[in-house]
Chains A and B, each alone.
Chain A
């Protein structure tokens, strides 16, 4: 697993992908920081994070699209699948590499916190940290979905588009739920919606149930990715 993790991490940083993702994140992060904190004259960074979720929905598929589709397309997966490692280790190695690249992005928000701290007043670090945790967990969920989608197709473009679509769909689940009249479906949709658990993190409430909710998504989708790879052997 560590060999795959190291290789993937290397691939992110020897190609422009990681830098481009960081640059775009810094651009939008800076814009939101300017608009929601500096101009609004507040130390509350909650809106910076809430706005960042939509940027993350676009950026994460860029990180995950190549994970399996490139291997399939360039026929390198044969090397992985005939090596003495099991499928779970392959999936986890790739998943954790993408999570690492994503987690490094969170440094950005700590820098914003330090800026507030240095030039204005002490911000609510708890709220910032819980927001970072929320964004991290939200991202991990999207990464696992993106990894899963990437294992389904040979084309990186297709993987990216479907992952972005999935991310947007998740963020609109609540709107969708309210527009559907059937109560039964409404209950299901709002139960799997990311919005409610995410809002707790946004206001600084860290609840175990929310953490479990967000972590259950990578557990499910990494499991599904393993199954996809497994199935490919059998047909």
Chain B
């Protein structure tokens, strides 16, 4: 549905996007993940035709964005990082404007009412946009993208500025969209992507560092276990004792806690349970453990590992 090939974007000397290629299949929800400044928005702006690439091609459902910009743009609904809302218009007027702008041929009132219903903005339909809360503005922005029922929906950080309840609503909404549309979603909120997307593309410093299904990415870093500990006692003694425990691959101090002990993170290989050995080692040097728990490796960790250049143990990951 969306095919991005060897995309390069240069701002003067700075290479913002460096040879990025990926494809999105019909009906797929693709997560676009990367730290701030990684090139996510630039890539999305190129896909939607707002910016032009220095080289490389973008094809939307068979329409090349440079050769047939009208055809390609009419197949995309785009919610940019800052929703393009005219502050002085009412929601109704604004959506009607977008409807006219996109030259939609669906029945006007029914279609607008349906979009308003899906995005839950019907109750603010007659209010002026500048008086709306951030959450509503974001939803009006989403409504704007949905007008005309484009087959491809591109959302740039759609849940920024929303409260937790709204984030969950937005997530459900996006999941619902995925049934009828192809969705590309960018975020640095990883849990969001993990919850919604079928596939994840990770980008860092303008380069594609991973292109995996969500499951693969999460399991690829699961070959490791992490233990979080609060221990009283001399820091150096504790660290050297921890490092001698069989199965521990890394041990480090994280910070000093408020109750006067230190927090440590212990990493161990495989599925080996080191908790008992750690307890015994600490008992031997008379350093009481006051807290111990398994720290789950999340997508956050996977993301940090990938973007720091650590290879990910998987089929295609770790590309540099």
Contact = CB atoms under 8 A, between A and B. Distances in A.
B200 to A, nearest CB: 24
Count class of interface residues, chain B:
20 to 34
A233 B74 contact: no
Contacts of A76: 84-86
A39 B89 CA distance: 46
Given A84-B74, A233-B50, A3 B100 contact: yes
B50 A84 contact: no
Interface in A4-27: 4, 6-7, 10-11, 14-15
Given A3-B97, A7-B97, A86-B69, A75 B74 contact: no
B50 A82 contact: yes
A233 B51 contact: yes
Interface in A32-91: 74-86
B103 A84 contact: yes
Interface string B75-89: 010101010111111
A2 interface: yes
Contact of A82 (B48, B71, B87): B48
Interface in B28-55: 45, 48-52
B101 interface: yes
Contacts of B102: 83-84
A83 B73 contact: yes
Main secondary structure of the interface of A (DSSP, over half): helix
Given A84-B74, A233-B52, A234-B52, A75 B101 contact: no
Interface string A94-109: 0000000000000000
B84 A77 contact: yes
B15 interface: no
B144 interface: yes
Given A3-B100, A86-B69, A233-B50, A10 B93 contact: yes
Contacts of A15: 88
B70 interface: yes
A209 interface: no
A179 interface: no
Interface in B103-125: 103
A86 B70 contact: yes
Contacts of B88: 11, 14-15
Given A75-B80, A75-B82, A83 B50 contact: no
Contact of B50 (A7, A10, A78, A86): A78
Contacts of B48: 82
Interface string A163-184: 0000000000000000000000
A149 B87 CA distance: 23
A3 B74 CA distance: 15
Contacts of B11: 235
B82 A78 contact: yes
A78 B80 contact: yes
Given A10-B93, A78-B45, A85-B70, 5 more contacts: A6-B100, A75-B80, A79-B144, A83-B101, A84-B71
Interface of B: 11, 45, 48-52, 69-71, 73-74, 76, 78, 80, 82, 84-89, 93, 97-98, 100-103, 144
